[in-house]
Amino acid sequence: MTRLFIALLIVAGAAAASAADAATVLVTGSNRGIGLEFVKQYAAEGWTVIATARDFSDAKELNSLAAANKNITLMKLDIVDEDSVKALAKDLKGKPIDILINNAGVLGDIPSQTFGGYKLSVFQQVMNVNAFGALAVSEALHDNVIASSQKKIIAITSGAGIISGKGAGGPLSFYRQSKVALNMGMRGIAHDLKDKGVIVGIIAPGAVDTAMRREIVGDKAINDQRPEASVSSMRKVIAGLSPASSGQPLNYDGKEMPW
């Protein structure tokens, strides 16, 4: 009887410790696509997940996931709305965030970023969201990351932002430029927060079948990776990040990408 009581105490103690030790991940643009998959996978492993999005009204899958998992908290965030970013930072003041995943992004209207059709408003929209948004969120939440155990800030980049890569010109000029700017901005943060122990991961997901990819290749996206596979690979890369890889673009398979 005494042994059973002691065993129960140990189990209860371990459960309490694991709940208290649960690491926290925050994901931007988590209502669909790659962001939603990050939420699913981290939540399934017992992480505390802060799933942010600018609008949850159509996010059926995320809403039911959050209803079924107490470890998922939904919080509003539009990454290019300064008030929204400030409000989130205020609500999360003092809360450690082990991994901040800057996933939210836009492709932008394709004809408006193709030579001959360039539109300033589309350039600004794509640069604001893809390049500035991640910087703004990382800056606003950096104290939360520094206060955590893992101290990782991630940006989801793209092979489209590799200057020395095969593709240039063509229909995605602004998107490509935004990812180049994102990479440089995140490399800057890697330098700026190095002394605080923060590691910055700049990770490309590969071609993944999401709404964004379908805007580019239509139904042919069915031949791309499923979000499950890409996110599972990226999570391994995130888990293995070290100060040596901070600020270096990496592919979802962990290989270094050229600039």
Ligand X SMILES: NC(=O)c1ccc[n+]([C@@H]2O[C@H](COP(=O)([O-])OP(=O)(O)OC[C@H]3O[C@@H](n4cnc5c(N)ncnc54)[C@H](OP(=O)(O)O)[C@@H]3O)[C@@H](O)[C@H]2O)c1
Question: Does residue 78 touch ligand X according to CB under 6 A?
Answer: yes
d(CA 113, CA 217): 16
Contact 238, 154 (CB under 8 A): yes
Contacts of 52 (CB under 8 A, 6+ apart): 26, 27, 28, 29, 30, 74, 75, 76, 77, 88
Give me the least distance between CB of 161 and ligand X, in Å please: 9
Strands 152-156 and 24-27: unpaired
Please give the helix or strand (H or E) that residue 254 lies within, else none. none
Site for ligand X in 42-61 (CB under 6 A): 53-55
* Window contacting ligand X (CB under 6 A); options: 29-37, 93-101, 165-173, 236-244: 29-37
Q: Which is nearer to ligand X, 94 or 152 (CB)?
A: 152
Residue 219 as a binder of ligand X (CB under 6 A): the answer is no
In angstroms, the CA 45 to CA 109 distance is 37
Which CB atom, from 31 or from 246, has the smaller least distance to ligand X? 31
Between CA 105 and CA 177 the distance in angstroms is 13
Q: Are 32 and 215 in contact (CB under 8 A)?
A: no
15-18: Cβ within 8 A, 24+ apart: 18/46
Site membership for ligand X, residue 108 (CB under 6 A): no
Binding piece for ligand X, criterion CB under 6 A, among 66-74, 195-203, 210-218, 246-254: 210-218
Q: Does 214 bind ligand X (CB under 6 A)?
A: no
Q: Which of 25, 85, 99, 104 touches ligand X (CB under 6 A)? A: 104
34 versus 50: smaller Cβ distance to ligand X: 34
Write the binding mask 136 to 175 for ligand X: x where contact by CB under 6 A, - elsewhere: --------------------x-x-----------------
205 near ligand X, rule: CB under 6 A:
yes
Shortest distance in whole angstroms from residue 221 CB to ligand X: 8
100 near ligand X, judged by CB under 6 A? no
Cα(65)–Cα(177) distance, integer angstroms: 35
Q: Is 167 left (phi over 0), alpha (psi -120 to 50) or beta?
A: beta
Nearest to ligand X of 21, 55 (CB atom): 55
32 near ligand X (CB under 6 A): yes
From 48, 144, 173, 210, residue interacting with ligand X (rule: CB under 6 A) = 210
Closest CB to ligand X among residues 162, 208: 208
Strand intervals (E) in 106-157 = 152-156
CB atoms within 10 A of CB 76: 14
Alpha helices in 79-141 (DSSP H): 82-91, 120-127, 134-140
Query: Where do contacts with ligand X occur on this chain (CB under 6 A)?
Result: 28-29, 31-35, 53-55, 77-80, 103-106, 129, 133, 156, 158, 204-205, 207-208, 210-213
